[in-house]
Amino acid sequence: MPEGIVSIEVYLAFIAACWMLAWTPGPIMSLIVANTASYGLTAGLWTLSGSIVSAVVLVTATALGMTALMAFVSEWFDVLRWVGALYLVFLGVMRLRRPSGLTETAAVMVLGRRRFFLQALFVGLSNPKTLLFLGAFLPQFVDMRGDIAGQLQLLAVTFVVVVSIADLVYTLAIGHFRDRLAIANLKVMDRVAGGLLVLGGLVLAAARRP
């Protein structure tokens, strides 16, 4: 690493920490898994893209030190948390109630790609814990004697890349598994997906400030 940037040891430790965090169940993971399981890989990838955009927004805010935004999120933590939680529960209930067994092509045609993208973008941005967590997490890997801004930018980009790769891995795996199920089994997947969304909403509702 160039002088003034994080050391290679710290950087590798940061990558490992990001990788483990990416596999921690949460609202976004629930949404990606649910949409991929119910609607197929195309829907999952569009959901993933919305998740990535929300992550970029949040880590950029953290890396640039947007204290006003951080203060707003901290003040409105409970409101944002409940908005996101209720939205996930709503999606889960609707998933449980709707006709099941749509093929991937039919699902994307009926619902539209943009809906999956916007769902993930909304859920990602309405989880206030993410921004507050990043504000506490990233500085732990920063050498205060070096270029702080440069280190934060590097860590922010790395966080998005590592988390996106992890999300892509399980999205592809679930999409591959779904493609091999019969229509009757897709109905079961829909029920599981609906349950995951409700669970994701409950997890977000139970979130506490980091």
Spatial separation of the C-alpha atoms in residues 83 and 40, rounded to whole Å: 27
Q: What percent of the chain has pLDDT over 70?
A: 70
Q: Where are the domains of the chain?
A: 26-205
The predicted model scores a pTM of 0.72
DSSP state of 30: H
Q: What is the pLDDT of residues 67-97, one digit of tens each?
A: 555 555 556 566 666 776 777 777 777 767 7
Q: What pLDDT is recorded for position 158?
A: 92
Spatial separation of the C-alpha atoms in residues 154 and 63, rounded to whole Å: 9
Non-local (6+) Cβ contacts of 201 within 8 A are: 27, 84, 85, 86, 87, 88, 89, 92
Q: What is the pLDDT of residues 12-40, one digit of tens each?
A: 999 998 898 888 878 888 889 888 888 88
Spatial separation of the C-alpha atoms in residues 11 and 17, rounded to whole Å: 10
Q: What is the pLDDT of residues 3-15, one digit of tens each?
A: 557 788 889 999 9
Q: What is the pLDDT of residues 170-195, one digit of tens each?
A: 999 988 887 776 555 656 666 777 77
Q: Which two tokens stand for residue 52?
A: 């990535």
